[in-house]
Structure 1
Amino acid sequence: MSDSRPVPGAAAPATPGSAPALPPQALEIASGYAFAGPAVDLGALVWDGQCLPGARIRVPLSVLNRHGLVAGATGTGKTKTLQLIAEQLSAQGVPVFLADVKGDVSGVSAPGQENERVRARAAETGGHWTPTAFPAEFYALGGLGRGIPVRATITSFGPVLLSKVLQLNRTQEQSLGLIFHYADTKGLELVDLKDLRAVVAFLTSDEGRAELKEIGGLSTATAGVILRALTAFEAEGMAPFFGEPEFDTSELLRTASDGRGTLSVLELPAVQDKPQLFSTFLMWLLADLFHDLPEVGDVDKPKLVFFFDEAHLLFSGASKAFLDAITQTVRLIRSKGVGVLFVTQTPRDVPAEVLAQLGSRVQHALRAFTPDDQKALKAAVRTFPTSAYDLEEVLTGLGTGEAVVTVLSERGAPTPVAVTRLRAPESLMGPVDAERLERAVTSSPLYGRYAQAVDRESAYEMLAARETAGRPVKETTTGGGRETGREEPSLVEQVVTSGAFKSLARSLGTQLGREITRSLFGTARRRR
């Protein structure tokens, strides 16, 4: 859909004689950003300490599916940069996904507030500034916090991601993969944590071990570790993240009625103390999109731009299988029209195999107070193309809202390195009040679809329903009297008695039909 409205923050058209001539080196840098097609306007070039509003620093819309990195120390303005890019993408019809770790991104849904600092930044960078609200949907993992609940079934989450969340080692991860393989071949969908516990318990029973003889077996010790990890995970209040209705990631591709892209904001303050969980859930969203979207090749503009905040948490302690899957997903998802922008503190937080695939870079200030900081600074400088700046000096001296930028041109070549004073976002730079956020959530057409958790009949419930004949009678003495009743068996006892689960699995295999297939990341979703 075409949109003739001006892009928020767009620079005023240049007129002959309206700006002083640029110095030769600045002119050479600025010419590298003079793109013919639609672009995201980041701000104005800074050269020799001067901000030059006539020298625009921009990112072509057509290359934003080739991924990027937004980096910088805490407090240098990364969040505002994300907001600036996101609202311009929205204005040009591109949906955006944003993870809001600190709870200060919800302001995208409200117009900004003009003040002296905003006016000064607009004057420096040479653009119009108009307070503007953007269409937004707010989500929350498992419904913890304010937002439409985002859940995944255990089956679709898969063994690789779940191993990362449970912090399993390589042997345990492989064993969990074997458990998933068994459930998949039986057509047995694992909806929530108790379903997975039931399967693990069965496969460590005498009957269950026979089921696995042909595919490798599962040690009792390893199964015990996995069961304990699942129990601890649930005890920490993690159960709400897994279940139904499962979130359909195609919701992230929506546009508003006026043609602007919807900003999907995942509110994470309620789970910010569980970084392994939310970073892995972000990867599930991305992997599920990869699993579902068709190949489109190079496009004029992305179908979606996905901001992966706190990216270092994703890679920290990751297994080789996990890193390989990330690398492959990032490499291939660009052909499906999805761009990924990793957000972290230094380029060293991102593995070299992934970093090599990031075409655009927005690097905010780095600190160099310690020897480790100095190493990180030198490593960051080496990741940039040859520059007309002394980047070691520049990167430690950047002010808030300034960054060193290089992107891909429309023909795919790196642009000259440009120190840039970034524009101010036109939406609210801070959170909206709780009442407004609550209204936005409950009035969403998606709220009724996902708000209420559904615990349909699955492996655990079907096992529990099969009452074992002749269950022992327990006797208790209360005040001299005798009270009789049925002893409630444990889940493991239910699983291992009389082959109930074995026949259940076979019947489920018949009912559900084909074997579940998985993507390269081990995720899956059965399409009915």
Structure 2
Amino acid sequence: MAKTTATATAAPISGDTDKQIFIGKGEQPAWLTLALGNRHGLVTGATGTGKTVSLQVMAEGFARAGVPVFASDIKGDLSGIAEVGEGKDFILKRAQEMGLTFQPDQFSTVFWDVFGEQGHPVRATVSEMGPLLLARLLDLNDVQEGVLNVAFRVADENGLTLLDMKDLRSLLDAIVPKAVKKDEFDPLAEIRASASSFGNVSKATVGTIQRQLLVLENQGGEKFFGEPALELKDFIRTDRDGRGMVNILVADKLMASPRLYATFLLWLLSELFEELPEVGDLPKPKLVFFFDEAHLLFNDAPKALMDKIEQVVRLIRSKGVGVYFVTQNPIDVPDRVLAQLGNRVQHALRAFTPRDQKAVAAAAETFRANPKLDTAKAITELGKGEALVSFLEGNGTPSIVERVMVRPPVARIGPITPDERKAIINASPVKGKYDTAVDSESAYEILQKRIAGTAATPADAGQANGGGGGFLGTLGGIIGSIFGTGTRRGRLTTGQVIARSVTRTVTNKVVGGIVANVGKQIGGSLGSTIGREIVRGTLGGIMKR
């Protein structure tokens, strides 16, 4: 899309803008250091106090520095970053007060939408989601989650690819024990026997899971599962001017299903952690991830899941990813996660009740004290557009808290029109890639064939899927001997998915060179997702241990 290249600069304020983002100004200018942008952050404040504007200012700064951005947009207000800003009186006044020359700008933007209505569809396969996150999405208890894990294990052992919800539904039906007469043939006997080897799978439990799947379908969740699945490299790109692309998840409708919203973003974080290589500390992040309404991630999360969220937040910075949580109050974020968030922006909080007053006190305690500032009092007195900020300094320690006026964004403040959105989507670099769903042969079709008596034998099916013989079969055996499993997690539809699956950290360390060559040589439609068997996903994989 066409865009200007001018930016708003802070001429009278000293500092290296190639290494820092100017956020605002109080007694001292507030700079966010790009090299510390992967140390994560927190933007908090009551509704209407300016959180979205602060988020936009930070997103603009990262994008201008060549850092791709992903942000969820709950109300549509962030979409204005795609259009040229307007020099309205209050913007010009604030810029003048801060010594800025306001020069309107806009940023290359890609819109994404789980429902495919206001952006490109975002999909993942059921197999990629894994049983841990799927159990959270469906709000299953321990017994139900156990049965779901059995279903995934049976799929592995029988070469059944789980792509969409009908695959999972058909597999759940297949693992339910069935009374068979003496001379009656059960085409799914092998599947049921495989499931029963892991313990009792009751019809009632499977029925409960099926009902939860129906609830998810009624909320539109079935649109999220399927192919073509999202390729994370499409989030991490720059435009022709070298500026980071801004990826916006349209989440106004998605927020009607808060569990789906939180699980989707958690899945995205785990996929980023799994797929990106270790890079250590870079001059600037590879990607910055803004997670609005972050409290939904932690609501009712079991301890095991909380442990893994903390682990991902702590370790993903070494992949060059900065995660910024946006919520109303710091106490919405558990202490052990809060401790990982080094860059802080706190807008006003109201203290009308004893509970509110405790929240303000708790928020004040998260900052490094400033002897010249009563932090708790200041939090309740902040005006719109004002914030208390504390960013990490050169040695990685938080700066003392300062009261600042946040600079005005240079792109439009507020939502864009439907026609503007349509034009941006039509000019998108990923137009056409995800817009049409693909229904490949997977567990549902394979099980239907078995029931109809037309399916190949398990050995034949393995060879048909590329896992039974030839070079791939030999490679599968090598990987099985290394990682202690010879099972498969579905089949690949393109050579690209092979590269995605097999070039992950653990694979690179052991068989990276071999598998990379295989991915280049084979291409096209194939048998088994070798890499997905090695690692399903950071959260799901670790939780199975």
What is the aligned counterpart of 1:450 among 434, 455, 466?
Answer: 434
Q: Which runs of 5+ in 2 are unaligned?
A: 179-188, 469-526
Distance 2:457 2:211 in 1: 21
Q: Is the 8 A contact 2:289 2:321 kept in 1?
A: yes
Q: Report the AA paired with residue 365 of structure 2.
A: R
Distance 1:378 1:278, change over 3 A: same
What is the aligned counterpart of 1:246 among 225, 229, 237?
Answer: 229
Distance 1:424 1:513 in 2: 48
Distance 1:128 1:187, change over 3 A: farther
What is the aligned counterpart of 1:461 among 430, 433, 445?
Answer: 445
What is the aligned counterpart of 1:416 among 379, 389, 400?
Answer: 400
Partner of 1:9: 8
Distance 2:10 2:348 in 1: 25
Distance 2:135 2:310 in 1: 18
Distance 2:327 2:392 in 1: 20
Q: Report the AA paired with residue 301 of structure 1.
A: K
Asked whether 1:41 is paired with 2:25, we answer: no
Partner of 2:181: none
Distance 1:363 1:504 in 2: 61
Bigger Cα displacement from structure 2, 509-518 vs 158-167? 509-518
Partner of 2:149: 177
Distance 1:400 1:62, change over 3 A: same
Partner of 1:481: none
Partner of 1:19: none
Specify the SS of the correspondent of 1:111: coil
Specify the SS of the correspondent of 1:450: coil
Partner of 1:188: 160
Distance 1:135 1:219 in 2: 52
Query: Quick one: percent identity of the two aligned structures?
Result: 46
Specify the SS of the correspondent of 1:272: helix
Q: Report the AA paired with residue 256 of structure 1.
A: D
RMSD of aligned alpha carbons = 2.4
1:505 to partner: Cα distance: 7.7
What is the aligned counterpart of 1:108 among 69, 81, 90?
Answer: 81
Q: Is the 8 A contact 1:89 1:96 kept in 2?
A: yes
Q: Is the 8 A contact 2:160 2:446 kept in 1?
A: no
1:237 to partner: Cα distance: 2.6
How many equivalent residue pairs? Answer: 464
Q: Report the AA paired with residue 37 of structure 2.
A: L
TM-score, length of structure 2 as denominator length? 0.80
Distance 1:10 1:258 in 2: 18
1:172 to partner: Cα distance: 2.2
Asked whether 1:322 is paired with 2:294, we answer: no
Partner of 1:23: none
Equivalences for residues 52-451 of structure 1 within 5 A: 52=27, 55-143=28-116, 145-206=117-178, 207=189, 208-388=191-371, 389-451=373-435
Distance 1:85 1:391, change over 3 A: same
Bigger Cα displacement from structure 2, 265-274 vs 414-423? 265-274
Q: Is the 8 A contact 1:156 1:523 kept in 2?
A: no
Q: Is the 8 A contact 1:362 1:406 kept in 2?
A: yes
Bigger Cα displacement from structure 2, 377-386 vs 296-305? 377-386
Q: Report the AA paired with residue 318 of structure 1.
A: A
Specify the SS of the correspondent of 2:23: strand
Q: Which runs of 5+ in 1 are unaligned?
A: 16-33, 46-51, 470-497
Partner of 1:518: 536
Q: Is the 8 A contact 2:386 2:406 kept in 1?
A: yes
1:523 to partner: Cα distance: 6.6
Distance 1:323 1:513, change over 3 A: closer
1:250 to partner: Cα distance: 1.4
Distance 1:501 1:402 in 2: 68
Q: Report the AA paired with residue 73 of structure 2.
A: D
Distance 1:252 1:463, change over 3 A: same
Q: Report the AA paired with residue 325 of structure 1.
A: K
Distance 1:91 1:168, change over 3 A: same
Larger Rg: 1
Deviations 1:229-250 (A, max 9, x none): 1122213332111111101111
Distance 2:203 2:459 in 1: 22
Q: Is the 8 A contact 1:101 1:268 kept in 2?
A: yes
Distance 2:115 2:219 in 1: 13
